[in-house]
Amino acid sequence: SVNSSGNISVHPHGTDTMSHQEIDLLKIVNKASDPKAAGGLGLQLPLIVRLPDVLKNRLESLQSAFDFAIQSQGYESHYQGVYPVKCNQDRFVVEDIVKFGSPFRFGLEAGSKPELLLAMSCLCKGNPEALLVCNGFKDAEYISLALLARKLALNTVIVLEQEEELDLVIEISKKLSVLPVIGVRAKLRTKHAGHFGSTSGEKGKFGLTTTQILRVVKKLVQVGMLDCLQLLHFHIGSQIPSTALLTDCVGEAAQIYCELVRLGAHMRVIDIGGGLGIDYDGSKSADSDVSVSYGLEEYALAVVRAIRFVCDRKNVKHPVLCSESGRAIVSHHSVLIFEAVSDSMSNAQGMNPVGFQYFIEGLGLPEDALSDYRNLTAAAVRGEYETCLLYADQLKQRCVDQFKEGSLGIEELAAVDGLCELIANAIGVSDPTRTYHVNLSVFTSIPDFWGIDQLFPIVPIHRLDQKPVMRGILSDLTCDSDGKIDKFIGGESSLPLHELESGGRYYLGMFLGGAYEEALGGVHNLFGGPSIVRVSQSDGPHSFAVTHAVPGPSCRDVLRVMQHEPELMFETLKHRAEEFCGSGQDDDSDGDDHGIGNAALASCLARSFHNMPYLVPA
Ligand code: PLP
C-alpha cells in the first residue's frame, strides 16, 4: 500500500488482516544505504530487499488452499509440495522455505548436481517426510548422489527424465545396495500454448512418451523392482493460463497414474510440476502473457477435483498431491530497488523563445537557411503549423548537411536543434517522454525483460503523494541498446514518473521478481548482482529489523568470473604507478613532482577493485 508519507509499504500478512504491521520500503533503503544514519549499513544500490515474512505467508497460503480443497472435496490424502530451487537458489531463501514449510512436510526439487547438493544439505534440517524430488538430465554421478541421499534418510525420489536413466538407476542402486524410489516424468499430450509451454505436448523436450513409460514398467518387472516406481510427474510449463487447461493436463496425468496402478506399480504420489501462475499485470486474464485467470484457491480446487474424479472412476486410492510451484512461492518476497540518477534534458531547455529571432539571425547562417527560417516564422504568425514544421525540418536538414561539410559550426547547429525542438513543443508534436538513467543492469537484474519480454510492475517507492508529471523510459548503465525498459504493465511504452529534484534521491522498485531473475542474470558489461538485505518484521520503532546484509559483488568479484586475476592486475598497475608517478611530493622544489602520488594512486586503484561496479551517487 501507499502510506501517509507517500511511500510504498509492505504488509506481509495482507492489508485486510488484523495485523496492521507494515514495513516502509524507503526506510529500509535509507537504513541499508546511508552510512551516516544510526545503524546505517552503507550498502550500495541496486538493492534486493528480501522479506521472509512474505515468503512464509506465500507458503502457508498455498498449503491452506490445498488443505481447504482437500477437505471440501472429501479427498482422501494430503498435499505436500516441493520448492524447485532453480527459481532462486539463494541459501537464505531455500533455508527459509525448508524451515517455514517443515510443519507441513514441504520439500525441495533439484534439477542438477549442485542443486541436489544444496537441497540435500538444507533438508537435513527439514521434516523427515519432506520429499526431495530429483529432476533433470542425469548421469551416473547424479544418480549416485540421489541414492546416497536415500541412505542419509532423505525422502528422495529419482524422477526419470529419459528412458536411459533407468539402466543407471538399476545398476548403481544394486552396487550401493540402496532401494531407490523411482518416478517417471510423463510427456503429456495436453499442450500449453503460451510462451512458457513451448516445450510441452507430444513433441515436447522433456519426459517419457507412453511407449517409453510402458518399456520402463516392463524393465522394472523384469528386474523385480516395479514396487520402486511410486511417483508420476509432469510439468507442462510455467504460467498455466487457466484452470480449464490445468484440469485438462491434471486429468490426463491422473489417467496415466491409474494405468500405472493397474500395471502393478506401487504408486503413491502425483507430482503436478510447476505452472501455478502469477498475475504480474493485475488483469487476472488468461489472454495476457503476464497474468493468469485464477488464484491459489481456484488452482488447488481444480487440481484436487480433477484427480479425485479420475481416481474415483478407476477405483484407485487417492494419491498424495505434490506440486513444484516456484514462481508462486518466491516471486513476491523480494523487491529490487534502484535509483534514477539523471534524465535526458531537452535541447530547448534554457532557450528563450523571444530572444530566438535575434539569435538565429545573428548566427550568420547561409542565405538558404535564413530563408527557411523566415518562411518558418511567417507560417507560425499565420498559424499554419504544418507548414511551420515543414520549414523547421528543412532548416534542420540543411544545417546538418552544412555541418557535415564543415561550413557550419557546432554552436549554430545546436541553436537550430534547440529552435526546432521549441517549435515541436509549442505545436505539440514533440515526444514528451524522457529517458531516466537508472543505476541498474537489465541483463543482470531483469533478464527476462530482455530475453522474453516479460513485464514486471515497476513503480517509484516514494513521493506517491505527489502527482507524477513526467513520462519516462528507463535506460540502464550498460553500453547496450537493449539495456532499457520501455514496455510496462498495461501496454504502456512509458512510466508516469516524478521530476528529479536536485540534491534529492529518486528510488524505483521492481516487484514480483523473486523467481528466476537472480538465477538467470548475467554479467554483461561486468555489472554484478545487487546488494541484498533480509528484512523481518519486528516490534521495534521501525517495525522492521535487518537480519542479514550482503554487499553486491565487487569489481574484483566480477573480474574473477571472467578468469581475470584481480590481485595480479592490481600489482601490475601498482608497479606502473611507481614507474610513471612520483611520490606526489615536490621534495626538491623543482616543480616536477606533484599531483597524485603513486601511493594515493594505488589506494584509489585498490578502492576501485573493492567497490561494486555500479554508480556511486555523489
Ligand atoms: N518444475 C519443473 C520441472 C520446471 O521445469 C519448472 C520451471 O520451469 C518448475 C517446476 C517451476 O515452475 P513454476 O515457476 O512455474 O512454478
Model pLDDT for residues 357-402, shown as the tens digit of each residue: 666 777 777 888 889 988 988 998 888 989 999 999 999 999 999 8
- Ligand 1 atom with the smallest distance to the CA of 240 is 15
Backbone φ and ψ for 603, nearest 5 degrees, come out as: -70, -30
Mutate to test the pocket of ligand 1, among 83, 87, 137, 249 (most ligand atoms within 8 A of CB): 87
CB 244 within 8 A of CB 299: no
CA-nearest residue for atom 6, ligand 1, is 274
CB 392 within 8 A of CB 419: yes
* Over residues 568-590, mean pLDDT: 82
Determine whether the shortest distance from the Cβ of 326 to ligand 1 is under 6 A: yes
Which SS3 state, helix, strand or coil, does residue 462 take? coil
Active-site annotation holder among 124, 322, 399, 479: 479
Mean model confidence pLDDT for the chain: 91
Distance 205 CA to ligand 1 centre (A): 14
Between 186 and 19, whose confidence is greater? 186
pLDDT recorded at residue 542: 65
Distance CA 297, CA 284 (A): 14
Determine whether the shortest distance from the Cβ of 192 to ligand 1 is under 6 A: no
Percent of the chain exceeding pLDDT 90 equals: 74
Determine whether the shortest distance from the Cβ of 325 to ligand 1 is under 6 A: yes
pLDDT recorded at residue 342: 86
Mutate to test the pocket of ligand 1, among 324, 454, 518, 520 (most ligand atoms within 8 A of CB): 324
Distance CA 246, CA 90 (A): 29
Mutate to test the pocket of ligand 1, among 88, 238, 290, 512 (most ligand atoms within 8 A of CB): 238
User: Locate cell 553500453: which residue?
Assistant: 479
pLDDT recorded at residue 362: 74
Distance 448 CA to ligand 1 centre (A): 15
What is the per-residue pLDDT across 584-599, written as a single tens digit (0 to 9) for each? Answer: 776 666 666 556 788 8
**Helix, strand, coil percentages for the chain (3-state, nearest 5):** 45, 15, 40
Query: How many angstroms separate the Cα of 290 from the Cα of each of 272, 283, 491, 492, 512?
Result: 21, 9, 11, 14, 11
Q: What band does 20 get if pLDDT is binned at 50, 70 and 90?
A: low
Distance CA 133, CA 82 (A): 8
Q: What band does 431 get if pLDDT is binned at 50, 70 and 90?
A: confident
Distance 438 CA to ligand 1 centre (A): 31
**Gyration radius (Cα) of the chain, Å:** 31
pLDDT recorded at residue 593: 56
> Dihedral of CA 117/118/121/125: which sign?
negative
Mutate to test the pocket of ligand 1, among 235, 279, 323, 329 (most ligand atoms within 8 A of CB): 235
- Ligand 1 atom with the smallest distance to the CA of 111 is 3
Q: Which of 92, 83, 43, 34 is nearest to 63 (CA)?
A: 83
Distance 86 CA to ligand 1 centre (A): 8
* Over residues 15-36, mean pLDDT: 84
Measured from the Cβ of residue 55, the count of other Cβ atoms closer than 10 Å reads 26
pLDDT recorded at residue 594: 58
Distance 608 CA to ligand 1 centre (A): 39
- The residue length of the chain stands at 618
* Over residues 289-302, mean pLDDT: 95
By DSSP bridging, strand 131-134 and strand 155-160 are parallel
Determine whether the shortest distance from the Cβ of 530 to ligand 1 is under 6 A: no
Q: Which of 165, 180, 283 is nearest to 230 (CA)?
A: 180
Cis peptide bond prior to 530, omega within 30° of 0: no
10 strand-pairing partners: 23
User: DSSP string spanning 554-595?
Assistant: PHHHHHHHTT--HHHHHHHHHHHHHHHS--SS-TTSSS-S-S
- Ligand 1 atom with the smallest distance to the CA of 515 is 14
Measured from the Cβ of residue 151, the count of other Cβ atoms closer than 10 Å reads 11
Which SS3 state, helix, strand or coil, does residue 61 take? helix
Torsion, CA 481, CA 525, CA 461, CA 437, rounded to 10: -50
Distance CA 187, CA 206 (A): 6
Please check the confidence at residue 18 and state whether its pLDDT lies above 70: no
Determine whether the shortest distance from the Cβ of 52 to ligand 1 is under 6 A: no
Note if 479 is an active site residue. yes
Determine whether the shortest distance from the Cβ of 88 to ligand 1 is under 6 A: no
Determine whether the shortest distance from the Cβ of 329 to ligand 1 is under 6 A: no
CA-nearest residue for atom 12, ligand 1, is 274
- Ligand 1 atom with the smallest distance to the CA of 238 is 15
Q: Identify the burial level of 34 via C-beta atoms within 10 angstroms of its C-beta, where 0-12 means exposed, 13-18 middle and 19 or more buried.
A: middle
At residue 58's C-alpha, the angle toward residues 53 and 59, to 5°, is 100
The verdict on ipTM greater than 0.95 is yes
Distance CA 126, CA 101 (A): 8
Determine whether the shortest distance from the Cβ of 273 to ligand 1 is under 6 A: yes
Torsion, CA 42, CA 45, CA 48, CA 52, rounded to 10: 20
